[in-house]
Amino acid sequence: MIKLSDMKCSAGGQAKALNDADIASHLAVLTSWKREKNEIVKTFTFKNYHETMAFVNASAWISHREDHHPDIGLHYNRCVVHYATHDAGGITLNDFICAAKLDQLFAQ
């Protein structure tokens, strides 16, 4: 089985909103992501502002490479990442792919 973190996002407008069962299935393989209405959300916590900014900058590189961008709330020692695919009107596989890539980045 291919891991979400090894997948690539679908090009603009091609991603389709997932049903509740698929969303639950994908959430089960991620670490600490939660569904909040039509998005998935996770808070990443760090020791200090420098580590927080390094993570945000690295996540920006991933977002640029995948052409799929989250909403990020930035704080001194944490950032809150929200993924949703607004064009699809919900949560898509692209959101889970990027979430998995951020989990992989955080684990390093």
Domain ranges of the chain: 39-108
Q: Residues 24-66: pLDDT tens digits?
A: 999 999 999 999 999 999 999 999 999 999 999 999 999 999 9
Question: Angle CA(104)–CA(1)–CA(35) in degrees, nearest 5?
Answer: 55
pTM of the model: 0.93
62/77 Cα distance (integer angstroms): 20
pLDDT surpasses 90 at 15? no
CATH number of 39-108: 3.30.1360.20
SS3 content of the chain, % helix, strand, coil (to 5): 45, 20, 35
